[in-house]
Structure 1
């Protein structure tokens, strides 16, 4: 269902081109009161006035449902009233005025848009012709003819003004509903995006850890069953335990990020991690941030934080007491480097996991000796 169909479905079915039942009932009452004061010399005029009043009541009742029928009836009322207006004290002008004002109010739509003023133009021409015939037949001067036209023009202007008001009110209602639908679609898109982000974060944290844990346990089982290698199996189980602990820590970190109103800013999160490392191990951690800090996607933040945590953990394990330099550089992406003195470790399972997790967000991780230091570099470029 497209936006236009949804808009038509939610907007209330409201008739166009009518000023409301209360207004029409009051107008009819006024017309009846005015005609009741008429004192035409020819009593046959009462038949014409009664017929005109009946046609007016039928036409005004059908304005909301049968607009073309109502147009025909109201035009007939205007013509009959204009032709009878030349009779002294007939008050037939009242029929003309209410009929043309109702015609001017009516909205004839095409594709939901008001199309032109042809109905009121045609009705005005017919009414003017009837005025001319009445003026000629009953011997009225030109001033009478033009005064009738003036009154008719005033009521037509009133009706057109009323129609314009109704059109603007309808357009305002449609714009408000379109705005509400747009906000609803925006909220829905935001919810879908958030769900996708959560799914990516959970996949980044759990898929690799649980998959690798399963592989390690399968290898341990095979070592025991096929080779009876208890030492090898025990080593795999220890790796599995470390993997489980690491995965649990990363899962907690991801959940904390998801529960926050926003994903934590990366430089701040690494500063907190560095402070925790100093407090836990009594080792200085020097943090340098280069470039203008930028907010990263949640998956990137979690992956880089995991890489920083793994590098700091290895530094504390293999080079205890040695200072650690952490550098976070922003440019065409994000580059995190962790440097410590001394050879820390070869290609361990933790770094392999970090490399694979960074690959899931389009990043890379390298680790190895750099002179007398051990350097870990994690990079994620702009997409």
Structure 2
């Protein structure tokens, strides 16, 4: 599978894009591979930015997807620090911000997502942070390791995965943390109240303060610097810095301007082969919205495992190989030395009961979200090796015995046996 005279362009030099480029070469593609990234950094992995890199336990080099020399060795043409500003589908060409025009025979959009802004007064003050890129993590780590503002907490707006991971990293560095969350528990819209309460307890045990049921109304300052946060319920809270951690927005504007179909709720609509409404253009990673396993509405999965697997899947599809990208969603997080894993998808309202295998107050444990005794998702703390069996239960879609599911002595792999 050589394709010497073909050019494949990848927009987005993150994990999905870099792994796609790697897969093209591993599958024997000999044509041009062009990788475009709007950061000056070589492709790197983002999960450590809110964990070990933020605390200083991981160095910059450990984040890289490949050693920088790998790209030249494998003839990957890098355009770093360049923004792709337009895709002309008629002539099959990508235009960069500096005017460069790059032809393509097949194009992969792996443009990722960007942090949502708070959209309230005071967000232009120094000390308001977002966390998505290396530069963001460097700036935030400088705040957390500085004595400036000591005595006031880091205020985290949003108790999602990033907000909780940064809260844990900040506590590890000795910084007080206050988390403001509109919902009744952390990650309420993802995990539901039962598991959200478990996460709240994990953080409270380490000194994190929560204010639920409200949102920041304004960031207040002094001499151009953050000094506090005023909430919608009228509280005035001191702050040494503010982290906006209220989710992300898919970077689908390039696709929209090119006339590609978008999914309801955001993201680029793709089929099971990650092909967009243009058969020569594919999408992978955070920006791609694909139908859930077993059908159902399209959704984006904005986590490391999806980028790791969808980039190579899209590359194989670009080469004309038979591809079906229908992996069960999976994510992991590390907080206070605790390994958290979530497999599947079961927001509140989709399940009718939660079954615990083990004691949620004493790790390890697994918790299963069921509907009519069918497993929709599972959340675990310090339970290595369970992901494959859980994904199998979800894919099977057969009813299970809740008592057996709750019994640690019953092997998960046997619960749906005929």
TM-score, structure 1 normalization: 0.23
Q: Which has the higher helix share?
A: 1
Whose RCO is larger (CA < 8 A, sep 6+)? 2
Q: Which has the higher strand share?
A: 2
